[in-house]
Amino acid sequence: MATALVVDDSRAIRMILARSLRDLGYEVREAENGRKALEVIEIEKASLKLVLADWNMPEVNGLELLKQLRSDPALSSLVVVMVTTETDLNQMVAALEAGANEYVMKPFTRDILMEKLELVGVHP
């Protein structure tokens, strides 16, 4: 079974995203910041297919996490979707230029999330 990682400092958002991913058949792991996410990724590297990451988090933010993931050749095929309240076009461009596969703005609907996952080819 494919594994997805939800990285957000909001427990409520992690629960919403995790529920949607489980409904799609993913095994879901969670982390409350980028530093914890890197620890989970190290353990789950073999089965991990998708990361949904918030931008604004303590310790290691979503953009820093994205850049670290993209600097590791072993994780180059990992799909990373930013799910964030950052609506500034420049920040969206920065995330995409850093290697994000897609960008979802909060608040979002389940349909929007599903559409974005289909666009990046990870909808099982």
Residue 76's pLDDT is 81
Residue 86's pLDDT is 80
Q: Give the C-alpha separation, 120 to 94, whole Å.
A: 18
Q: Give the C-alpha separation, 88 to 23, whole Å.
A: 31
Residue 24 lies in a domain: yes
How many domains is the chain partitioned into structurally?
Answer: 1
pLDDT tens series, the chain, 124 aa = 799 999 999 999 999 999 999 998 999 999 999 999 999 999 998 899 999 999 999 999 999 999 999 999 999 889 999 998 888 889 999 999 999 999 999 998 889 999 999 999 886 5
Residue 44 lies in a domain: yes
Residue 101 lies in a domain: yes
Q: What is the pTM of this model?
A: 0.94
Nearest to 64 by CA among 35, 89, 87: 35
β-strand partners of 50 = 4, 79
Q: What is the CATH number of the domain that holds 76?
A: 3.40.50.2300
Q: Give the C-alpha separation, 82 to 84, whole Å.
A: 6
The boundaries of the domain holding residue 40 are 3-119
Amino acid at position 105, single letter: M
